[in-house]
Amino acid sequence: MRIGFVGLGIMGSRMAARLLGQGHELAVWNRTAGKAAPLAARGARAAPSPAEAARDAEVLFSMLSTPEAVRESAVARPDTFLPSLRPGRIWADCTTVDPASCRAMAREAAARGVRFVEAPVAGSLLPAERGELVFLAGGEAADVEEVRPLLLAMGKKVVHGGPVGAGSAMKLAVNILLGGAMTSFAEALRLGSALGVPRATLFEALLGVPAAAPFLAGKRRKIEEGEYGAEFPLRWLHKDLHLAATAAYAEGIALPVTNAMKELLALAAGAGLGEQDISAVCAFLQRGKLP
Amino acid sequence: MRIGFVGLGIMGSRMAARLLGQGHELAVWNRTAGKAAPLAARGARAAPSPAEAARDAEVLFSMLSTPEAVRESAVARPDTFLPSLRPGRIWADCTTVDPASCRAMAREAAARGVRFVEAPVAGSLLPAERGELVFLAGGEAADVEEVRPLLLAMGKKVVHGGPVGAGSAMKLAVNILLGGAMTSFAEALRLGSALGVPRATLFEALLGVPAAAPFLAGKRRKIEEGEYGAEFPLRWLHKDLHLAATAAYAEGIALPVTNAMKELLALAAGAGLGEQDISAVCAFLQRGKLP
Amino acid sequence: MRIGFVGLGIMGSRMAARLLGQGHELAVWNRTAGKAAPLAARGARAAPSPAEAARDAEVLFSMLSTPEAVRESAVARPDTFLPSLRPGRIWADCTTVDPASCRAMAREAAARGVRFVEAPVAGSLLPAERGELVFLAGGEAADVEEVRPLLLAMGKKVVHGGPVGAGSAMKLAVNILLGGAMTSFAEALRLGSALGVPRATLFEALLGVPAAAPFLAGKRRKIEEGEYGAEFPLRWLHKDLHLAATAAYAEGIALPVTNAMKELLALAAGAGLGEQDISAVCAFLQRGKLP
Amino acid sequence: MRIGFVGLGIMGSRMAARLLGQGHELAVWNRTAGKAAPLAARGARAAPSPAEAARDAEVLFSMLSTPEAVRESAVARPDTFLPSLRPGRIWADCTTVDPASCRAMAREAAARGVRFVEAPVAGSLLPAERGELVFLAGGEAADVEEVRPLLLAMGKKVVHGGPVGAGSAMKLAVNILLGGAMTSFAEALRLGSALGVPRATLFEALLGVPAAAPFLAGKRRKIEEGEYGAEFPLRWLHKDLHLAATAAYAEGIALPVTNAMKELLALAAGAGLGEQDISAVCAFLQRGKLP
């Protein structure tokens, strides 16, 4: 198939590489043009604008950082991709956005005769590289079915939650779990260390118990070495929890623990750790100690 | 061996049963005497007081609800067990307490020539029944080694974290993880439902992702059926998080998310859910919705 | 002067009444038309639409509930007021909105040649009735000066904080203070009661100390009588704290206590107290108690 | 009267000075002996131990930092004051402690025939200097009456809340208010600054509104100059909120906002601001900002 792919960051670059590996024809675009080079070297066409990436695409994927970034690449400026997608084609947005932004994008697409599928992902760098992502999809059943083979080229599972908005809802829910596991692990380590338990023993006690989320084991080396190169940048999790808090407000419900996590991440980001991996929240908590 | 066992609640009754199953000689005691009957039927001796349970024991296990309950059975009243344990014998406390209470108990034991081992457990009803608990031990290495075979009769792993206090420290750390996973799962479900995703789809999306702690799958049925019979009562997790917050204060460190979880559980307990399972926090959050 | 006034709720009705009392010519509009009757009885003209309220106005005041309500009355539908305000005239918005919404409204106004002043207020029912509001203004200095006499007909003080957005910023800051005072008072009462201090003694101890915000004294009777008729509805404070949290996210800063207040109010609103006075948060906390 | 006074810190030194100024005979003691010198220069006797300060006292005042410090000066070591106070005399403790510690002290006193009054204070450095403290008393009515004239030599008001424990309860309630006002002011300033409002304008907008606690005006200069010499050290407020949280746990009630304040202060203390004034929480929040 002819596929457009907009957004080649940590996740997008690996997802596009997998589509390419399955023999699809790709036109790719990224704000920082250099990121397209490795894909171009493997046969993708580096488009000069989002519009060009979309021009002939049967399906246009976007994998960007924020709802604002999606809007900007899709419709807000000249040379954006939505106006150049042909009617009847599909735009599949994999960005983590809030349900309201998602529905707004769907309306923009519908106004141009484009079919819209949302397909945010659970999983970060490694699952993306290995094609083990889980796609949390929202949209018309027929449209989701149409892109399902492409999604399964990039991941191992597609959960269709309902109409547009349901995918974002599931994704925000997953990232609340992620935030809960990461921040409580950071606090658990902090307390254990403060009480004198050697860190290696703490890892032995904590990892592997039924209360420990499986992904935490993969953070051990970062935490031990104090090197927090980002698999999933802290400020993106901060953003996702903000989107969850905003959606919760709109629905009139309370998420007190999620909001507390969000603020802990805001403090960590404010301390300069926003571009580091989410596990850097351990470093933030470890810093301060009453004399 | 001759073993005393004090405290036959959800956990203690199953742990004592496993020791009995390994051929040890047990003298058991529980505040509500009726709880000793099933064990007595299998050959344990039902002691009329903690003191009698300890009289001839080589090792005395206690598995109670709070630091106050431990103190009350151990030393605070006549007929408590610590004065009747012979010098040189071992008291192994499996209760979840805070490191400070633990060290205080160790001092009381030492003053009577009794060796003290703390061995709180990770795992709840099912792992207790199956002998799959993880013991998080603190104390002298030689003493921990001496009780290790007994612990392994009740569980699958013993992590020795250091001197007395280290076991409680690890246990509080594990329960911070537990609280993080449970409360964030409740908030994730709440948000997903509010946004219109069917609950079965939510479970499909959330359970199994790397951010989901394995024990959560076991809570699915309770949540779906709205029947929250306690595997681990909500008010005990509340207590553990309070102990963690207290230890953190004593060490001069901040645990903002843990404190937020603690208060969410306090509200849920205040709404009458304290004796229900920790997963009843889902029911608490589900209740209220802005009209 | 010829003044349009859109939004005749708790606050707007009293503010419009004061303008009328100073001899100005008023055209008023409210979504629920009945609310215009008392003002019409005193000489105001009840306009059939926002557009009609604005038609001949030299200054158009709006005092609505949310940013969305402002947008809806101003531009989103036919018969809204912004298109019918003449170029060069002033639109003064007194609604509590976030700085981003405020700047968006200013751009809409500018696009039509209308001058925009934001003037949210500190103070609730009683200060509004007595003309003792404080206006927290943002906009061009000349425009703020032009409406200052009108603002001082409704209040006792105008603080000009800078360009458009500064007024909202100050208003959100004031309402963070309000939330801090109200929620901590509720928690202080809750703790004191739980510890057995009679409520009248608690009021004596708390009200009047330098740590007690002056407005709290005015809430005493509501709390004592358990009748929480709204001077300032709880769900509006919830909204304002959400706007503050959103603005904080946009600026990359952390407001951990504000977010905790927001969630307490969300729970109280979820329990059915959203339309009650903010002091009903006392009733919410009082409800639950561990058995 | 012959008065013993133990604890000559920021508050105690000023309180003792006022008693001295009223013509009472004082024997004073402080752990750091140098602090007694200024009072000795004005006629007080510098006692070599707490026991000596209490020997001939009709009333013994203590004004220390924590429940542990009270226990240590009162009974825990040789030369402490409680054993040397004669039966029938009064011990009035002005330290902020939790109700449980307070009741424990009352029992220790009763066991020696000493009458116990708790009289923690609302107010900090300046009110102490001016004799404008408010005493929040608990104890037998007759005992409170007996010390009332002495309390009124140091303060302007005595509120008797009930039996021992009621004074601490009221004091913790007052300090929850204090924490709410201070932390929400810090967050209000943070948000206003981030949104571009000049700080002087923010002070103008915030101070003086009915939502602003009166003591905040007195913090303005510290915040503007960034010099946070302690009137009330941040780590003491942290301690008081911890005592409040502990008492709330014991009573089975939730204080979600108080716990969030406590953790913000823990972070600020961990960042090295514990010995600074509570208003230094403004400096903590001001530090971090997302790039």
DSSP 8-state class, residue C27 = E
DSSP chain A: -EEEEE--SHHHHHHHHHHHHTT-EEEEE-SSGGGGHHHHHTT-EE-SSHHHHHTT-SEEEE--SSHHHHHIIIIISTT-SGGGSPTT-EEEE-S---HHHHHHHHHHHHHTT-EEEE--EE--HHHHHHT-EEEEEBS-HHHHHHHHHHHHHHEEEEEE-SSTTHHHHHHHHHHHHHHHHHHHHHHHHHHHHHTT--HHHHHHHHTTSTTS-GGGGGGHHHHHHT----SSBHHHHHHHHHHHHHHHHHHT---HHHHHHHHHHHHHIIIIITTSBGGGHHHHHHH----
Q: How many CB pairs under 8 A join B and D?
A: 53
| Cross-chain residue pair B213–A181, CB shorter than 8 Å | yes
Report chain D residues whose CB lies below 8 A from the CB of A288.
Answer: 267, 269-272
Q: What is the mean pLDDT of residues A139-151?
A: 97
3-state secondary structure chain D: CEEEEECCCHHHHHHHHHHHHCCCEEEEECCCHHHHHHHHHCCCEECCCHHHHHCCCCEEEECCCCHHHHHHHHHHCCCCCHHHCCCCCEEEECCCCCHHHHHHHHHHHHHCCCEEEECCEECCHHHHHHCCEEEEEECCHHHHHHHHHHHHHHEEEEEEEECCCHHHHHHHHHHHHHHHHHHHHHHHHHHHHHCCCCHHHHHHHHCCCCCCCHHHHHHHHHHHHCCCCCCCEHHHHHHHHHHHHHHHHHHCCCCHHHHHHHHHHHHHHHHHHCCCEHHHHHHHHHHCCCC
Strands A121-122 and A133-137: antiparallel
Closest Cβ opposite residue A269 in set C252, C263, C269: C252
Whether B251 and chain A come into contact, CB under 8 Å, resolves to yes
Subunit contact B162:A196, Cβ cutoff 8 A: yes
Nearest CA in chain A to D286: A270
Q: Rounded to 5 degrees, what are φ and ψ at C8?
A: -120, 50
- Reported confidence tier of residue D287, pLDDT bands at 50, 70, 90: confident
Q: Does C246 touch chain A (CB under 8 A)?
A: yes
CB contacts of B267 in chain C (<8 Å) are 267, 288
| ipTM here | 0.91
Which residues from chain B sit within 8 angstroms of residue D261, using beta carbons?
A: none
In this complex, is the C-beta atom of A245 within 8 Å of any C-beta atom belonging to chain C?
Answer: yes
D162/C187 touch (CB, cutoff 8 Å), yes or no: no
pLDDT tens for each residue of D196-230: 999 999 999 999 899 999 999 999 999 999 999 99
Flag residues of chain B having pLDDT under 50: 289-291
**Measured between CB atoms, does B237 come within 8 Å of chain D?**
no
Interchain CB contacts (distance < 8 Å): A and D? 33
> Token digits for B15?
């742990």
Judge whether B290 is closer than 8 Å to chain A, CB to CB: yes
Cβ atoms of residues D256 and C263 within 8 Å: yes
Contact B181 A180 (CB under 8 A): yes
Is the pLDDT score of A290 beyond 90?
A: no
Mean confidence (pLDDT) of chain D = 94
Distance, C-alpha C72 to centroid of its chain = 17
| Residues on chain C touching A259 (C-beta within 8 angstroms) | 245, 259-260, 262-263
Report the chain C residue with the minimal C-alpha distance to residue B289: C270
Q: Please check the confidence at residue A287 and state whether its pLDDT lies above 80.
A: no
Query: Which of D267, D276, D285 to probe by mutation at the A interface, max A CB count within 10 Å?
Result: D267
- Counting one residue from chain A and one from chain B, the pairs whose CB atoms sit within 8 A come to 276
Q: Which of residues 2-41 of B touch C (CB under 8 A)?
A: none
- In this prediction, residue D78 has a pLDDT band, given cuts at 50, 70 and 90, of confident
Answer for the pair B150, B1: CB distance below 8 angstroms, yes or no: yes
pLDDT of residue B289: 42
Give the model confidence (pLDDT) of D137-190 as tens digits: 999 999 999 999 999 999 999 999 999 999 999 999 999 999 999 999 999 999
CA neighbor of A155 nearest in space, from A19, A8, A9, A2: A19
Full pLDDT tens readout for chain C, 291 residues: 999 999 999 999 999 999 999 999 999 999 998 999 999 999 999 999 999 999 999 999 999 999 999 999 998 888 999 999 999 999 999 999 999 999 999 999 999 999 999 999 998 888 999 999 999 999 999 999 999 999 999 999 999 999 999 999 999 999 999 999 999 999 999 999 999 999 999 999 999 899 999 999 999 999 999 999 999 999 999 999 999 999 999 999 999 999 999 999 999 999 999 999 999 999 999 875 433
Residue C246: which of A246, A255, A264 has the nearest Cβ?
A: A246
CB contact under 8 A, B258 and A189: no
pLDDT of residue D132: 93
Chain C interface includes B291 (CB < 8 A): yes
In D, residues 193-212, which contact C (CB 8 Å cutoff)?
Answer: 194-198, 201-202, 204-206, 209-212
- The answer to whether the Cβ–Cβ distance between D259 and B254 falls below 8 Å is no
Residue D289 has pLDDT above 80, yes or no: no
Decide if pLDDT at D77 tops 90.
no
Catalytic residues of B: 171
List chains adjacent to chain B, taking adjacency as at least 3 C-beta pairs closer than 8 Å: A, C, D
Residue D242 has pLDDT above 90, yes or no: yes
D270 contacts A267? CB cut-off 8 A = no
Question: Which one of D195, D260, D263 has the shortest CB-CB distance to C169?
Answer: D195
Rounded Cα gap, residues D142 and B279, in angstroms: 51
Considering the entire predicted model, what is its pTM? 0.92
Q: Mind telling me how many Å the CA of D62 is from chain B's nearest CA?
A: 23
> What are the pLDDT digits (tens) for A177-225?
999 999 999 999 999 999 999 999 999 999 989 999 999 999 999 999 9
Residue carrying structure tokens 């999933």: A232
Neighbouring chains of C at 3+ CB pairs under 8 Å are A, B, D
Dihedral over Cα of C187, C190, C196, C198: its sign? positive
